[in-house]
Amino acid sequence: MTNRKGDILFEEIRSIDAEVFELLLLADPSKSLVEAYLKQSEVYTASLNGKLQGVKVLYPLSLKTVEIKNVAVKPDLQGQGIGTYLIERSIEIASISGKLSICIGTSNTSVGQLYLYQKLGFEITDIKRNFFIDNYSEPIFENGIQAKHMLILTRQLNDERKN
Ligand code: ACO
């Protein structure tokens, strides 16, 4: 699926090059976890004049729910709305494909991301306690605190009762 916002091109890609993979590691430092979920996911990039700007990974969590496993924007381009657009497009893609909800997981330490996701209509629905301690070889620190728990935020899409 291809889409444009201004001069920025959003498209699904079939192969992951080193630049895209490095960007994925910005959102998720576990190479093995990223490699594992990429096998079953759809990957979309945002680019301008052929230059990579951002990436997102959509994973079919179940028949009813899609998960945004990874979303990242190049550090020098953050804060310009690209992340918002990548997430808004994910909501649209999930909705068009008939999913009932879309979710995203982030750390208890990721205050900016938690703000962004809630602003886009996601609500905290679950917590995976000690996820970042149990699944990552190195401790992760962000905003001066240790990442321990994964907060799951969900946005409802189509109402099942209407179908
Ligand atoms: N800290 C503070 N505020 C933030 C942060 C942050 N880390 N990220 C987003 N925001 C705020 C912005 O200030 C902005 O606020 P405003 O609308 O009031 O002006 C709002 O969120 C929207 O910002 P965008 O410009 O649309 O977001 P951006 O293009 O920067 O993309 C993203 C957001 C993807 C989180 C980007 O900052 C990034 O790549 N961060 C590093 C990787 C990362 O943490 N990815 C998410 C991990 S969780 C996961 O992948 C499932």
Q: Whose CA is nearest to atom 6 of ligand 1?
A: 112
Mean pLDDT of 73-91: 96
* DSSP 8-state class, residue 14: S
Distance 94 CA to ligand 1 centre (A): 21
Distance 115 CA to ligand 1 centre (A): 9
Angle at alpha carbon of residue 37, lines to 31 and 38, rounded to 5°: 85
> String of b and e for 120-155 (b: at least 16 CB within 10 Å)?
bebeeeeeeeebbeeeeeeeeeeeeeebbbbbbbbb
pLDDT at 92 over 90: yes
- pLDDT 10s digits, 11-69: 999 999 999 999 999 999 999 999 999 999 999 999 999 999 999 999 999 999 999 99
- pLDDT 10s digits, 12-22: 999 999 999 99
Check if 153 has its Cβ closer than 6 Å to any atom of ligand 1: no
Q: From residue 121, how far is each of 6, 90, 114, 148 by CA, in Å?
A: 24, 13, 11, 24
Mean pLDDT of 145-156: 98
Distance 112 CA to ligand 1 centre (A): 6
Quick one: pLDDT at residue 6? 76
Q: Determine contact, residues 71/56, Cβ cutoff 8 Å.
A: yes
Instruction: Report the predicted TM-score, pTM, of the whole model to 2 decimal places.
Output: 0.93
